[in-house]
């Protein structure tokens, strides 16, 4: 059993107290001294991203620590500007200059030893990015070269990684068909000849053609209409099952990911504030921010007056409030909240919340769910 691991208990949630890394290996990897359970595919520890500029140091990801279980679907949700995309970039050591990433991202392949993604040589990192961890971004059009057919993208990827052309193209056909596409037609098409939904599905197939174990998706359906979003969510669930994938699905759309994910991690102000099984977080959220987020979900069973946007703005990364970063927007904030960052508290389930007043939040920040509207 794995999870956010700020606490240590009988379920195997672990405190990592020794964050020192081992020596780099001859392959350029850095192997952590800590061992990973075989069911854990990724352990992010104290992952922090900063950008230094004239306006000061912007912390755009703040000491994120979480374990990802093999073959689970982890939903990462938060408002715009909460650090979601930086979470994805840091996981792949893809933060652009002059950003600085610290902490560790241990990846535990099915075969071979665990390694720290942040300690890889650039050659090894390029291989890991397609062969072990793949990523799909919002807006497939920008990810494809408009002058190349879809087939060329597959062939170039296969060639660059020295893989068997026949085997991989057969897998490309299998993936495209699994995504309900006419493989022959799509492969011969240029990106502009496909609809947005077809392009996004072709991009998912391309990401999976080298059979990575982990697929990271950053707002992959944001540019699509609702029907296509739902269709892609259904297809992802079936792909995950068929190819034993682990998926990290990053989005601002809580209802969308709630229907897909096994667990949810809620990001606010560049750090995780709540994490747990999806059904538990949705039905019994413990953090005032999560509960406020759930109040923003459109719901025909709730009067419009009870639906409310979250007041105030996300913090500026160069000027994050002291103490609990949500306190300027939180109806329950008191002096204690302003002076010290709340530690994670484990609730009665595998469910952790960083808040001093979880019980008060449950009593006073109300939200209503409609069956089938939000949740798995």
Looking at the Cβ atoms of 204 and 353, the one nearer to ligand SF4 is 353
Looking at the Cβ atoms of 128 and 332, the one nearer to ligand SF4 is 332
Closest C-alpha to 316, from 82, 85, 78: 82
d(CA 326, CA 51): 22
CB of 325 to ligand SF4, least distance (A): 8
**What would the two tokens of residue 42 be?**
């990724």
Looking at the Cβ atoms of 56 and 331, the one nearer to ligand SF4 is 331
Looking at the Cβ atoms of 153 and 291, the one nearer to ligand SF4 is 291
* DSSP-derived secondary structure letter, 321: P
Task: Using the CB atoms, write b or e for 7-45: b if 16+ within 10 Å.
Answer: eeeeeebbebeeeebeeeeeeebbbbebebeeebbbbbb
CB of 358 to ligand SF4, least distance (A): 7
Alpha helices in 244-356 (DSSP H): 254-258, 278-283, 288-295, 335-339
Looking at the Cβ atoms of 201 and 327, the one nearer to ligand SF4 is 327
**What would the two tokens of residue 283 be?**
């039905």
CB of 77 to ligand SF4, least distance (A): 16
Q: What order of strands is seen across the sheet that includes strand 115-116?
A: 56-69, 40-53, 100-107, 115-116
CB of 5 to ligand SF4, least distance (A): 20
Label residue 220 exposed, middle or buried (CB < 10 Å: 0-12, 13-18, 19+).
buried
CB of 341 to ligand SF4, least distance (A): 8
CB of 19 to ligand SF4, least distance (A): 25
d(CA 207, CA 196): 17
Looking at the Cβ atoms of 36 and 330, the one nearer to ligand SF4 is 330
Alpha helices in the chain (DSSP H): 84-91, 122-131, 140-143, 150-160, 165-178, 183-187, 196-208, 226-243, 254-258, 278-283, 288-295, 335-339, 358-364
Tracing tokens 């509960």 back to the chain, one arrives at 291
Residues lying near ligand SF4 in the complex (CB under 6 A) are found at: 287-288, 324, 326-327, 330, 332-333, 337, 342, 355-357
Looking at the Cβ atoms of 44 and 324, the one nearer to ligand SF4 is 324
d(CA 57, CA 153): 38
Closest C-alpha to 267, from 284, 289, 245, 234: 289
Q: CB under 8 Å, gap of 24 or more: what pairs does 357-364 form? A: 357/288, 357/332, 358/286, 358/287, 360/332, 361/285, 361/286, 361/287, 361/288, 361/291, 361/332, 362/284, 362/285, 362/286, 362/291, 364/331, 364/332
CB of 262 to ligand SF4, least distance (A): 25
Looking at the Cβ atoms of 249 and 356, the one nearer to ligand SF4 is 356
CB of 189 to ligand SF4, least distance (A): 49
Looking at the Cβ atoms of 209 and 365, the one nearer to ligand SF4 is 365
Looking at the Cβ atoms of 77 and 337, the one nearer to ligand SF4 is 337
CB of 271 to ligand SF4, least distance (A): 12
CB of 357 to ligand SF4, least distance (A): 4
């Amino acid at each position: 059993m794995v999870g956010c691991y700020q606490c240590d208990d009988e379920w195997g949630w672990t405190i990592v107290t020794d964050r020192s890394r081992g020596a780099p290996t001859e392959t350029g990897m850095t192997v952590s001294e800590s061992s990973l359970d075989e069911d854990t595919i990724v352990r992010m520890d104290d992952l922090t991203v900063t950008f230094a500029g004239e306006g000061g140091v912007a912390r755009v990801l703040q000491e994120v620590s979480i374990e990802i279980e093999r073959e689970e679907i982890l939903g990462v949700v938060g408002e715009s500007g909460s650090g979601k995309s930086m979470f994805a970039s840091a996981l792949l050591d893809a933060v652009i200059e002059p950003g600085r990433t610290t902490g560790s991202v241990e990846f535990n392949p099915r075969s071979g030893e665990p390694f720290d993604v942040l300690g890889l040589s650039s050659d090894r990192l390029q291989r890991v990015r397609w062969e072990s961890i793949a990523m799909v971004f919002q807006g497939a059009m920008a990810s494809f070269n408009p002058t190349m057919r879809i087939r060329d993208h597959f062939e170039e990827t296969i060639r660059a990684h020295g893989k068997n052309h026949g085997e991989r193209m057969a897998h490309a056909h299998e993936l495209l068909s699994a995504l309900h596409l006419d493989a022959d037609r799509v492969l011969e098409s240029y990106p502009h000849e496909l609809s947005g939904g077809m392009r996004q599905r072709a991009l998912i197939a391309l990401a999976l053609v080298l059979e990575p174990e982990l697929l990271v998706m950053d707002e992959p359906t944001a540019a699509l209409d609702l029907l296509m979003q739902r269709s892609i969510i259904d297809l992802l669930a079936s792909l995950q099952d068929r190819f034993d994938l682990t998926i990290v699905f990053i989005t601002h759309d809580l209802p969308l990911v709630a229907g897909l994910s096994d667990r949810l991690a809620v990001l606010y102000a560049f750090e995780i504030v709540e994490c747990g099984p999806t059904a538990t977080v949705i039905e019994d959220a413990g953090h005032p921010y999560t509960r406020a987020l759930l109040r923003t979900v459109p719901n025909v069973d709730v009067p419009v007056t009870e639906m409310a946007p979250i007041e105030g703005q996300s913090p500026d990364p160069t000027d994050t409030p002291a103490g609990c970063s949500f306190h300027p927007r939180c109806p329950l904030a008191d002096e204690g909240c302003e002076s010290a960052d709340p530690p994670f508290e484990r609730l009665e389930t595998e469910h952790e919340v960083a808040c001093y007043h979880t019980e008060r939040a449950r009593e006073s920040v109300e939200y209503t769910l409609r069956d089938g509207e939000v949740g798995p």
